[in-house]
Amino acid sequence: MVYGRINKAITYIDTDDFSDTRVLGDNTTNESFVGLRGEAKIGKDLSAGYVLEIQEFFDYDGGGLNDSDGVGVRQSYAYIKSAYGQVSVGKQSTATDDIFLSSANTDAVLHPLTSQPLFGLEPFEGFKANVVRYNSPVFEGFMLSASWGEDDSKDIALRFAKVVGDFKLYAAAGYRETDDYELSYSNDDKVISLAASGLHVPTGLFASAYYGSLDLDGYAKVDAYQVVGGVEREIFGALSRRERPSLGHPTLPQMTIAVLMLHIAVGQPGKP
């Protein structure tokens, strides 16, 4: 199966250090990519498959002026799936990667708790690396994930996604430790991530709240909070939100307007 995402836009950023920054291209918090996926049954209740994704990478300079750094592998891993869950090996998302999802389709432009709303770093989420990952079966909307990888980096996450009455709900909690300086911001990062989101299906009104705590090996600590609210409307199509995959992204074009966004980050120095 061939799949992918195109996320091109004209964006404008006005900050103290990089005022009047205009960029034409990908938003680096949600890049365009193309992927290949294959799966085959190898037993009565056992399947095996692979995923390969290619994307264009960008250099991040802190202000969104991101030049292309060439095309490379976004994800490349193999997996085995059974009634007891899925185990995958290779370059892929760690357990806390993309933990800050929303019940609405806001991820295409604004990704929660980045260092800035567009083209920002994502210190409170996981990343893509060579890891072994386990995903549990989904039970009553809950799914547990855990991963371990290079230089003893490890994380665990619990996600919940379900339609209850007229509400589409999403919640998640994650914890990550990373010892490799090249994959983190210090020699021993510890990150706590929390997310909660709800969307009222008939009206399209939604609200989301996010929290992240980053401990940089005792040298500094940053706590960040963000709330987002707005309204979502489908442009066309008859597929109900109730019929969409609970732990996936929307499958039809939509217009989503975020009418309220508040982001607070509080940092403090650590022990000398």
pLDDT at position 5 is 80
Given this model, what pLDDT does residue 244 score? 43
219 pLDDT above the threshold of 80: no
pLDDT of 102 over the 70 cut:
yes
What is the pLDDT confidence band of residue 220, given thresholds at 50, 70 and 90?
A: confident
Please report which confidence band the pLDDT of residue 151 belongs to, taking 50, 70 and 90 as the band edges. low
The pLDDT, as a whole number, for residue 64 is 45
Distance, CA of 143 to CA of 170 (rounded, Å): 11
216 vs 174, higher pLDDT: 174
Q: pLDDT digits over 243-266, tens only?
A: 444 454 444 455 555 555 555 555
- DSSP secondary structure string for all residues of the chain: -EEEE--EEEEEE--SSSTTEEEEEE-TTS--EEEEEEEEEEETTEEEEEEEEEEEEE---SSS---EEEEEEEEEEEEEEETTEEEEEEEEE-TTTT----SSS-TTT--TT-SSSSS---TTS--EEEEEEEEPPPBTTEEEEEEEEGGG-EEEEEEEEEEETTEEEEEEEEEEEE--GGGSSSSSEEEEEEEEEEEETTT-EEEEEEEEEEEETTSEEEEEEEEEEEEEEESS----GGGS-TTS---S-EEEEEEEEEEEEEEEE---
The pTM (predicted TM-score) of the whole model is 0.79
* pLDDT at 127 > cutoff 80: yes
- Residue 28, pLDDT score: 62
CA distance 190 to 149: 15
For 26-62, the pLDDT digits (tens) are 666 677 889 999 999 988 889 999 999 998 776 555 4
Contacts of 82 (CB under 8 A, 6+ apart): 45, 46, 47
> What pLDDT score does 174 carry?
95
pLDDT tens per residue, range 67-91: 556 788 989 999 999 999 999 999 9
pLDDT of residue 106: 72
Q: Looking at 1-5, 124-128, 267-271, which range is the least confident one?
A: 267-271
> Cα separation of 135 and 145, whole Å?
5
Tell me which of 22 and 84 has the higher pLDDT. 84
Cα–Cα distance for residue pair 56/6, rounded to 1 Å = 11
Query: Would you state the structure tokens that stand for residue 32, as one six-digit string?
Result: 């365009």
**Is 90 exceeded by the pLDDT of residue 143?**
yes
